[in-house]
Structure 1
Amino acid sequence: MAFGVISEIGYVSLQSKDIEGTIAHGRDILGLTETHRSGNAVYLSSRARRHHELVYLDAPENGVGHIGLVAAGKAGLDLARTRIVDAGYPILSNTPLHPGVADGFAFIGPEGFVFEIYIGLEPVGITPTGHAPDRFGHVNLHPQHLHAMLTFFTDVLDFRVSDVIGDDFAYFLRCNAEHHGVALIKGKGWMHHHAWQVQSIADLGKLGDRLHDAGSRLLMGPVRHGAGHNMAAYYVEPTGAVVELYTDMEWILDDDRPPIVWPQDDRAWATKWSIYDFSEFRSHGLFPAREHIAAN
């Protein structure tokens, strides 16, 4: 259950300079099903059967288009709109950016990330693939100015801190009972990964098999994270963004649970089963698009 103006993380939109190759990845590797195609935009969903959880936009260069946040009803949408305007974030659109949405608005947030806050996303009658994830889960951002991004999510959008890593290094934030909908790790100013829930660790192994058959490989995993408790595996998609499949995420049923604090040098917050060199893992990501391209 949501405790603030945002109820869940809704979708991510990515601009792609190889739209057909990127769509093939979404279908064959990630397991999503195309729900709609219009002009430069292709919409995909998981077993959740929503109009869109991932949107690919045909574009001259790769980049993060925007991140969709589901408001906690009409009251949450109206309050979020008021807070965003009062905080001085530029409004990009006063109406939804995509079809299948009842109401919403978009704005430019910290470090150039565009966010859409909306309600009323339509369901779709698709038949999911055999290896479809259950649903879209979260995003991992690596802002340059960590505390500004943290303040945006906690003070403006009511997210709560689940775990803290080190002294000014990383924060895991939740907008409902799931351990995190947004993770913030100090970095280059890009989105590191978008993440999808699957049913079991067996699905992580099958992901590795699909990547191998396609001539690719896992970037990291399977691992068991300490922060969030989830088991996860990661790979790099054609846009340059990292994709995570995860299962067994911690749910926090006490809204007032204090954050768990981890020393930064305690690698168990990231992986409890083995030690990784995270330099390659953190070298991948996707910056916000330099130019906003609207779906048409």
Structure 2
Amino acid sequence: MVTRIGHIALNVADLDRAVDFQEQVVGLTEVERTAGVAYLTCNDRHHELILVQDGSNRGYDHLAMQVEDAAALERAKSALPAAGATLLGGVYDGEPGIDRALKVLSPGGHVYKLFCGMETVDVPLRDGRPTHFEHVSTKVWNHRAEDRFLEAMGFRNADRMGVLASWWHCDDDHHGIALTRAPKAELSHYAYAFPDLNALGRVADRLRAHRGRKCIWGPSRHGPGNNHFLYLHDEDGAMVECCSELAQMREGYEPKTWSMHPGTINQWGGPPPPRFLLTGFPIARPTPGRPSWASSPGRTPAGAEA
């Protein structure tokens, strides 16, 4: 069902400042801004990130996953409730950059937007940019219920770390979704892929130069996924992971069960610091169907359910 990771939509208190952070520090480019919403990319896809001006509803609006076509959305609409999901309205269109979408609430309380038909753009891209939006890591209490939901969307397990964490893939990347066990449903972090370790160092340099801040954790290398990592906070307190050399899934790969020892997730150093463990970005109040801000000027939805 899901063919690739799409993007994330974050509510932000100051849109200009949030866009500036993503451009100056991370390396994205703003493609479009309408109705208090900015769409940013780092490649030829219309957007890899959505920033929504909403200081009263702090949190992330949704996690987006691409499916093959409109028929796949209809199949998801029928199949996902049986896997514990709750439909948030019906299939809708009229949103900038994509053809149509369906939003669902996962058993763990996270909002997923399945969409098809991402537009391409030709815009000037920044030096030192990421290559693509890579993955999200969410906090859940009931791992098994969320596992079943991911499996129904077409994800396959890559690795586990006892009862504490699991990693799931829908394409060749080792993971597009990571689950961490926690008492409260939140976003742990969202992640971009970069070409190499040197590129992560340049992000840290830009964070210092443009914001006068230091990173939370890294650079180092994870065990599951085998990727380099560097963690930092964005302007609204959500945690960003910058990655390179994420393992690629090949035929015959067997999922591993890793030790729950803290060294598992840091192959070069010590355990994660408290700022990493305690960071959690809330889930914004979900709304059914097309959000009021997700309307492309000049385009009228063609008979889809709102």
**Distance in 1, Cα, partners of 2:126 & 2:273:** 32
Per the TM alignment, residue 31 of structure 1 is displaced from its structure 2 partner at its CA by 0.9
Amino acid at match of 1:140: S
Match of 2:75 among 74, 79, 83: 79
Aligned mate of 1:178, from 164, 173, 177: 173
Q: CA deviation at 1:18?
A: 2.0
Identify the match of residue 102 of structure 2 among 102, 105, 114: 105
User: Cα distance, 1:215 vs. partner?
Assistant: 0.7
1:131-150 correspondence to structure 2 within 5 Å: 131-150=128-147
Aligned to 1:62: 58
One-letter code of the match for 2:91?
Answer: N
**Total equivalences in the alignment:** 287
| 2:92 aligned counterpart, secondary structure | coil
What code does the residue aligned with 1:271 have?
N
User: RMSD of the TM alignment (CA)?
Assistant: 1.7
Within 5 Å, give how 1:166-205 maps onto structure 2: 166=162, 168-187=163-182, 188-205=184-201
The amino acid across from 2:115 in the alignment is Y
Could you report, residue by residue, the CA deviation over 1:179-220 in whole angstroms, capped at 9, with x for unpaired residues?
Answer: 000000102311111111111100111111111112111111
TM-score normalized by structure 2?
0.89
2:122 aligns to what SS in structure 1?
Answer: coil
* Native 8 Å contact 2:135 2:191 kept in 1: yes
Output aligned runs, 1:178-257, within 5 Å: 178-187=173-182, 188-213=184-209, 214-254=211-251, 257=253
Specify the SS of the correspondent of 1:121: coil
Query: Is the Cα–Cα contact under 8 Å of residues 92 and 108 in structure 1 kept in the other structure?
Result: no
Matched, 1:116 2:113: yes
Please name the residue that 2:277 is paired with: 282
Secondary structure of the equivalent of 1:212? helix
Q: Would the alpha carbon gap of residues 243 and 277 (structure 1) be closer, same or farther in structure 2, given more than 3 Å must change?
A: closer
**Pick aligned residue for 1:12 from 5, 8, 32:** 8
Letter in 1 for 2:208: H
Partners of 1:17 and 1:264 in 2: CA distance: 37
State the distance in 2 between where 1:274 and 1:10 align. Answer: 32
C-alpha distance in 1 between matches for 2:272 and 2:225 = 20
2:155 to 156, 159, 162: 159
Tell me if 1:35 matches 2:26: no
CA distance in 2, matches of 1:283, 1:159: 27
Question: What is the SS of the residue equivalent to 2:247?
Answer: coil
Deviation readout 1:127-146 (Å, 9 max, x if unpaired): 11112111111000011222
Secondary structure of 1:137's aligned partner: strand
Higher mean C-alpha deviation, range 276-285 or range 228-237: 276-285
Q: Deviation of residue 262 (structure 1)?
A: 0.7
Distance 2:125 2:140 in 1: 34
Q: Aligned partners of 1:243 and 1:97: how far apart in 2?
A: 29
SS at match of 1:118: strand
Structure 1 distance, partners of 2:158, 2:258, is 11
**Cα distance in 1, alignment partners of residues 93 and 137 from structure 2:** 24
Q: Is 1:294 the equivalent of 2:289?
A: no
Distance in 2 between the 1:119 and 1:112 partners?
A: 23
The alpha carbon displacement at 1:85 in A equals 4.3
SS of 2:76's partner is: helix
Partners of 2:217 and 2:273 within 8 A in 1: no
Task: Say which SS state the counterpart of residue 101 (structure 1) adopts.
Answer: coil
Counterpart AA for 1:243 = V
Whether 1:258 and 2:254 are equivalent positions in the alignment is yes
Name the counterpart of 2:300: none
Shift of 1:75: 4.6
Matched, 1:90 2:87: yes
Structure 2 segments unaligned to the other structure (5+ residues): 295-306
2 CA distance for matches of 1:86 and 1:227? Answer: 30
Q: Matched residues in 2 for 1:116 and 1:242: separation?
A: 20
- TM-superposed deviation, 1:126: 0.8
- Which residue of structure 1 aligns with residue 297 of structure 2? none
Q: 2-side partners of 1:29 and 1:229: how far apart?
A: 24
User: TM-score, normalised on structure 1?
Assistant: 0.91
Identify the range of structure 1 (180-189 vs 91-100) with the bigger mean alpha-carbon deviation: 91-100
